[in-house]
Structure 1
Amino acid sequence: MITWIKFTLALAYLGLNTGCLRNNNATNLAHVSNHNQVFRFSGVDDLHRFLTYSDSRVPLISAHRGGPDLDYPENAIETFQRIAYKTPAIIECDIALSKDSMLVLMHDETLDRTSTGKGKVNRKTLEELKSFQLKDTQGNITSYQIPTLDEALSWGVGKVIFTLDVKRNVPYRLVIDAVRKARAEAYVAIITYNVDQAAMVNNLAPDLMISASIRHADDLLRLNDADVPDTRILAFIGTKEADKQLTDLLHQHGILCILGTMGNLDRQAEARGDQLYAEFVDNGADILSTDRPLQAAQSLDYYIQKRQLSSPYIN
Structure 2
Amino acid sequence: MNLNFTKNGLLFSFALLFLGCQSVTQLSSPTIEISDVQAAQDFYSWTEDRIPMVSAHRGGPYPGFPENSIEAFENVSKQTPAVIEFDVAISKDSVLVLMHDNTLDRTTTGSGKVIDHTYAELKELFLVDNQGTTTSFRIPTLAEALRWSKGKVLLTVDVKREVPFEMVVEEIEKQQSVPYAAVITYSIEDAKKVYQLNPDLMLSVTIRNEEELERFEDSGIPLKNAIAFTGTSERPKAFNQLLHDKGIFTILGVLGNLDKSAASRGDQLYVGFVQNGADILATDRPLEAAKAIQELVPETSSKSKYFKK
Q: TM-score, length-normalised on structure 2?
A: 0.88
Contact in 2 for aligned 1:257/1:285 (Cα 8 Å):
yes
Query: Which stretch of structure 1 is more off in the superposition, 87-96 or 241-250?
Result: 241-250
Q: Which has the larger radius of gyration?
A: 1
- What residue is the counterpart of 1:289 in the other structure? 282
1:160 equivalent to 2:160? Answer: no
Aligned Cα root-mean-square deviation (Å): 1.2
Q: 2:248 aligns with which of 252, 255, 259?
A: 255
1:125 equivalent to 2:118? Answer: yes
Instruction: Output one character per residue of 1:218-250: Cα deviation in whole Å (capped at 9) or x when no partner.
Output: 111111211111100000101112221211111
C-alpha separation in 2, matches of 1:127 and 1:36:
35
C-alpha separation in 2, matches of 1:36 and 1:249:
32
Contact in 2 for aligned 1:43/1:186 (Cα 8 Å):
yes
1:195 equivalent to 2:191? Answer: no
Q: 1:205 aligns with which of 174, 198, 203?
A: 198
C-alpha separation in 2, matches of 1:200 and 1:289:
24
C-alpha separation in 2, matches of 1:47 and 1:300:
22
Structure 2 unaligned residues grouped into runs of 5+: 1-27
Distance 1:236 1:159, change over 3 A: same
Q: 2:162 aligns with which of 166, 169, 194?
A: 169
Contact in 2 for aligned 1:199/1:223 (Cα 8 Å):
no
Secondary structure of the residue aligned to 1:269 is: helix
Secondary structure of the residue aligned to 2:33 is: coil
Q: Which ranges of 4 or more aligned residues in structure 1 deviate by more than 6 Å?
A: none
Contact in 2 for aligned 1:95/1:164 (Cα 8 Å):
yes
Instruction: Output one character per residue of 1:145-165: Cα deviation in whole Å (capped at 9) or x when no partner.
Output: 000000000111011111000
C-alpha separation in 1, matches of 2:129 and 2:44:
31
Aligned length: 279
C-alpha separation in 2, matches of 1:242 and 1:216:
8
C-alpha separation in 2, matches of 1:133 and 1:83:
20
C-alpha separation in 1, matches of 2:34 and 2:187:
29
Higher relative contact order (CA 8 A, sep 6+): 2
Counterpart residue type for residue 299 of structure 2 = Q
Structure 1 unaligned residues grouped into runs of 5+: 1-34
CA shift, 1:276, in A, is 1.2
1:239 equivalent to 2:252? Answer: no
Contact in 1 for aligned 2:30/2:80 (Cα 8 Å):
no
CA shift, 1:166, in A, is 0.1
Contact in 1 for aligned 2:29/2:80 (Cα 8 Å):
no
C-alpha separation in 2, matches of 1:118 and 1:274:
37
Contact in 1 for aligned 2:96/2:142 (Cα 8 Å):
yes
Contact in 2 for aligned 1:242/1:280 (Cα 8 Å):
no
- What residue is the counterpart of 1:70 in the other structure? 63
